[in-house]
Structures are given as structure tokens and as C-alpha cells.
Structure 1
């Protein structure tokens, strides 16, 4: 308990989190898991100091607990924020690397929590912008800026369409242009890993969405063509301290 004496949770308490961790370690207590989530991660994407301190025990539970995987993933997705806990985060480097390996093994089983398990390794690799933004492509939007004329362009990838558009507050998405998905052979780096992992697991909708996200879009204003992922990364990848 002494190690937690100065590590407050989101409710600015210091003794409750270790008690809850002990409960979930010995019993799959759903109420305890729910309270842990409230205490470790705030709704406005901030994580408490106790959240980083909890990473190691959560990673120990991750191979057998979906709740531990989800909560550890949420904490990591917020690691790029202004949390003031850089020292605590650095101490978790070993646990983060272990967590990534746990998740990669878990993904091979085509789990029900596939999307969460795909996002968390991205956060472990400090690809925070993709970890936070990657959705199920049923109703996903990405706001970027045309690199040629500077106009704001909305990228939509969902069941209703896959297009670039200008957002009009009264008319909605106007001047729509179909996105041009990337050919899988042209993918490299993170995009290739995301696509291949989804495709190999039979996650067809997810793989198709990633192909569009890493494809090209036409600017409705100037008709120039640009890479969606490059512009989104440029605008959203955090500057690491």
C-alpha cells in the first residue's frame, strides 16, 4: 500500500485502486472492474497517476482477462496527453512491451474484442493517433486539411459511403468525391500491419476501411489528390516529449 501513497486516482484518493486490483485479481468482479475504469481514466481522455501505476498488474491479468486488456489499452491510448506522469510511464516500458506481445498473440485467436486488441498495440508503439481514431468503419469521420489549397476536408468511411466532402453546417457533407482505396501491395509500415492483421483475421469490413483510410482523396475545392493517412497523421500525431 505504501507505494500508492502519493498516486491519486481520478477521484483524488490513494487507497482504493490497490484494493480494487486485489479484488479483480482473485475474483472476476464486474463492479470492481467498472469502478477501476472510473478511477483510472477520465471521460475527457485524461489518465490519473494511479492509472500508470496500475499498468503492471493489469498486464499480468491481460492474458486471461478481457477487462484488463481493455482498461490497459484505454490507459495507453491516453499516454500522449498532458498527464504529468512521464516518470511513471517510463517505469512501465517493460510492462508495455509485454502487453504488446500479449495482444499480438490474442489477435491470432480472432477474438470478439478484435478492434480493441488492434488499437492497443498501436498505442504501445506510440502510434497514438491511430489507436485513438481507429473505429469499426460503420460511422467514421476524419477531418483533414487539403495540403494544396488549405481547405478543410471531411473524410467519411462508413456504411453510408466512403468519400471526401466539404462540410456545410446547413446542408451536411456536400461536393462529395469517392475515396480511392490503396492497393494492399502498396501499403507499408503501420498501415500494412493494420490491414494485414485485419484481413488475416477475416475482418473484411475493417480491412476495407483501413484500405480507404490509407488511400487517396480528391479535394472538392481544388480537385487535387492527396493521401488521407499522411494528412491525418500530420495533423494529429502528437509531438512526443
Structure 2
């Protein structure tokens, strides 16, 4: 049982949260969902302790409520932040495992919110880094330092090309070098899950983008070759507390 007197939402005391949860469990109340979301999650980064306290109930409700599924995923994607709620999150381990299964079933149905569900699945696997930065590869850019000469390299994966380049303030991306996508047998770890899931569900554009993201790039400055995902992850993975 959650002791709501020992947690808080965006207004302070979280006594309103359990009442809102009871309301949305009884009916799909639009205004109640809006208030609940606002109380639990602030903008893009911060989750209040009440958000983690509400997770098990949201996840149970997710089997029959798209709004519950979306709000639970929103909370999970921010779990790498400095929220001070590790104990509350640890108490959700079993619920999160069940939530992952539910999300996978939803992915297999090829829903309209496929990418959002894909990102929520990554967060449920504690892959918060990729859950935060992965796009749909229509116009995605990743910035990293070459591991050999430390030049700032821009990686583009989108409709305008798949290349590494040096970004110039006036000229744009110059000295472009084509990326070398990973083959199906070269994936491992979370990259394999991402690629194989997108292929399984018929999302060819997403799978192709992931293949390039987990492939290799050539530095335009020193011509060394490096793994894009490894270098980007090393530079940007959040520090968990």
C-alpha cells in the first residue's frame, strides 16, 4: 500500500492523486486524466514522487486504457532523472515486467502510436538513453566526438541522407561520408532487440535507421572508422543514481 501522505505531486500534498486514480479506473474521464498527468509529470523532464507511487495502478489499468498505458510510459521514460524515488521504482519491478509484456503485444498489433510504444518499451528495459533520443529517422541528427581525433562529428540519418559530416555554421554539413549500416548478424544487446522488433513488426524505415545508427561512420577529419551507437552512448548515457 502506498502511503500518500509521504509523497507529493506538483502541488505538494498528493492526497488528490488516489482520488483521481479511482475516478479513471471507474470511467475514461478526460479531465481527470489531464489533471492526473499534470500532477505526476512536469513538462519533459521531471517526474514527481507521486508519479512513481501511481505506476503500479497505471500499469494494471494499461491493459484496457490507452491513456493509462501512455502515462505509465511517460513516467518510466523519465526514471533516469534525479528524482530520489529509487525505492518506489524498485517496488514496481514486477509491474514493470508485466507492462513490458503488454507493450510488446501492443507493438505486434502495429498501432498508430508504434514509436511511442517502442520508446516506452526501451524505458521498461531501463534503456533510458535510447528511450530519450531515438527518433523516427525522418530527420535525425546525432552529435558526437570522434574517438580518435576528438573532432565534433554530426551523424545524419534521415530523408536527406545517411552520413557523417563536419557541421559548419555558414555552409552546413560539409565533407560528408556515407554511413556503413550494420548487417542483421552484427547486432548485439539492445541494438539487436531494437532492430529485430522493428523488422518483426514490419517497420522497415525504423529498422533501416537503427541499422545505420548501430553501424559505422568515418570521421571526415581523420578518416578513422568508429561505431556510432557506442560512441554516442558513451558520450550521452545518463548517470543513474
TM-score normalised over the length of structure 2: 0.94
Q: Shift in Å at residue 95 of structure 1?
A: 1.3
Q: Secondary structure at the match of 1:63?
A: coil
Which residue pairs with 2:195 in the alignment?
Answer: 195
Task: State how 1:65-84 maps to structure 2 within 5 Å.
Answer: 65-84=65-84
Which residue pairs with 2:214 in the alignment?
Answer: 214
Cα distance per residue 1:32-73 (max 9 Å; x no partner): 222222221122411100110110011001112221111111
Q: Shift in Å at residue 31 of structure 1?
A: 2.4
Q: Is 1:152 the counterpart of 2:152 in the alignment?
A: yes
Which residue pairs with 2:59 in the alignment?
Answer: 59
Say if 2:73 and 2:120, in contact at 8 Å, map to a contact too: yes
Which residue pairs with 1:29 in the alignment?
Answer: 29
Unaligned runs of 5+ in 1: none
Say if 1:127 and 1:237, in contact at 8 Å, map to a contact too: no
Q: Secondary structure at the match of 1:142?
A: strand
After superposition, the CA RMSD in angstroms is: 1.7
**Alpha-carbon distance between aligned partners in 1 of 2:229 and 2:70, rounded to the nearest angstrom:** 25
Cα distance per residue 1:114-156 (max 9 Å; x no partner): 1122112211221111111111111211111111111111111
Distance 1:172 1:34, change over 3 A: farther
Cα distance per residue 1:67-115 (max 9 Å; x no partner): 1111111111111111111111111111111111111222222222211
Distance 1:77 1:144, change over 3 A: same
Q: Secondary structure at the match of 1:5?
A: helix
**Alpha-carbon distance between aligned partners in 1 of 2:181 and 2:2, rounded to the nearest angstrom:** 54
Q: Shift in Å at residue 2 of structure 1?
A: 7.7
**Alpha-carbon distance between aligned partners in 1 of 2:13 and 2:172, rounded to the nearest angstrom:** 45
Q: Is 1:186 the counterpart of 2:197 in the alignment?
A: no
Distance 1:10 1:167, change over 3 A: farther
Task: State how 1:86-165 maps to structure 2 within 5 Å.
Answer: 86-165=86-165
**Alpha-carbon distance between aligned partners in 2 of 1:23 and 1:4, rounded to the nearest angstrom:** 16
Q: Shift in Å at residue 229 of structure 1?
A: 0.5
Distance 1:96 1:211, change over 3 A: same
Q: Report the count of equivalent residues.
A: 241
Cα distance per residue 1:152-197 (max 9 Å; x no partner): 1111111122111222233322222221111112111211111111
Q: Is 1:8 the counterpart of 2:12 in the alignment?
A: no
TM-score normalised over the length of structure 1: 0.94
**Alpha-carbon distance between aligned partners in 2 of 1:169 and 1:24, rounded to the nearest angstrom:** 50
**Alpha-carbon distance between aligned partners in 2 of 1:71 and 1:137, rounded to the nearest angstrom:** 24
